[in-house]
Amino acid sequence: MPAVIAGPLLRRLEAGRLIFWLVGTRELNLRLSLFDPVGGECLWQVVPSPGDELQRVRIGERAWIHLLDLRPTQPLPMDRELEYDLQVDGESIVTLMPGLLYPGRSRLSVMIKSRLDQLLHGSCRKPHFPGPDALVRADDWLGRHLESTERPALLMLSGDQIYVDDVAGPMLQGLHQVIELLGLYGETFEQAAVADSDSLYSHPDCNYRRQNLLPRTRPRLGWRDRLLNGASRPIFTGHAIGNHLISLGRCWRSTCCSGRRNYGLC
């Protein structure tokens, strides 16, 4: 299995702070180097030490979440492109995942903007929506503006970051396979028709009828609840809950950001 299976995602970008998130199939040793693209000078290099700089959380037999919280010794330059390389166990991330690079590029890059002059905005990413993928369109546009002042200062996703209440059946089956492949830890449930996640996966109502497995609650008498005539209903409030994601082992893998490329925006 590959060393990195999700990410890296750049979650925070400031002159004095960078936060990365990624998931590996084992505990990874990481090194970050920042470069000036004009001349290639190394501006800063750090090997994150476990603790404040590097946190690892094991979520399965072959799955570790890594969070890098890095603070440069000097404020980083703003309003111009900076290249970086993230090494994983001594090997560059772009060697492990060459699809992260834009055409003609040898390193990933970021731009720390001094003001919020441009942004990319979207809502939820629904893989089975009957239309083109807007995030792919944004990716193509960004690839043509890496060095430009038009490069967005951030990516804002104002909707649900994961679709937990409207999951396509084929994706749900794919998630089942990922859970088994990575050995994600199971969990127990309370006041539910199934005792734990293993029982959920083997239950006849696992696909398309999950509302039968959820605890039910009688809503308070608000305007929204009067529309439902005060009837008891599944505890989750979504309407398309036949394939509602229930266990954490499902939710973490269905994030909106695909991890195909590091956008350098968040």
What's the pLDDT score for residue 196? 87
pLDDT digits over 95-130, tens only? 999 999 999 999 999 999 999 998 888 877 778 888
* Residue 126, C-beta contacts closer than 8 angstroms, at least 6 positions apart: 163, 166
pTM of the model: 0.81
11-50 residue pLDDT tens: 999 999 999 999 999 999 999 999 999 888 999 999 999 9
Statement: 4-115 belongs to CATH 2.60.40: yes
List the end-to-end C-alpha distance of the chain, in Å, as a whole number: 28
Q: Tell me: pLDDT of 263 over 50.
A: no
Instruction: Locate the domains of the chain by residue range.
Output: 4-115, 187-246
CB 233 within 8 A of CB 216: yes
Residues 165-182 have a mean pLDDT of 87
- pLDDT beyond 80 at 80: yes
More confident site: 97 or 263: 97
